Amino acid sequence: MIWNLDNIGEYALPDGRRLVLKDYHSTPRDESNLHCYDANGSLLWQSPAQPSEDEHYVAIHGKSGRLYGNTWDCYLKEISLDDGSILSSVFTK
């Protein structure tokens, strides 16, 4: 089990992987705050770092087998569950 007081939340996937959304205030500016770990706790991927500190994720959710993340600067991003890459990005404000 992954446990860190800097985590906002952990989300279990059906295949045993875990998504970890870290507190963006404690995440270095050049690092993403969304990580995916295997069942043993080894890092599989980290979503790409965003160009601005306001682009850290504040929430993630799944719908119809897809992963979405909301960023502080009002974008909704579809994120690949395979490698964490950004599949689409829509400004929502």
Contact indicator for 79, 68 with CB cutoff of 8 Å:
yes
CA Rg value for the chain? 12
For residue 2, what pLDDT is reported? 47
Both tokens of residue 18?
A: 């875990």
Residue-wise pLDDT for 6-47, tens only, equals: 667 889 999 999 999 998 878 887 888 999 999 999 999 999
The C-alpha atoms of residue 23 and residue 88 are separated, in whole angstroms, by 23
For residue 8, what pLDDT is reported? 79
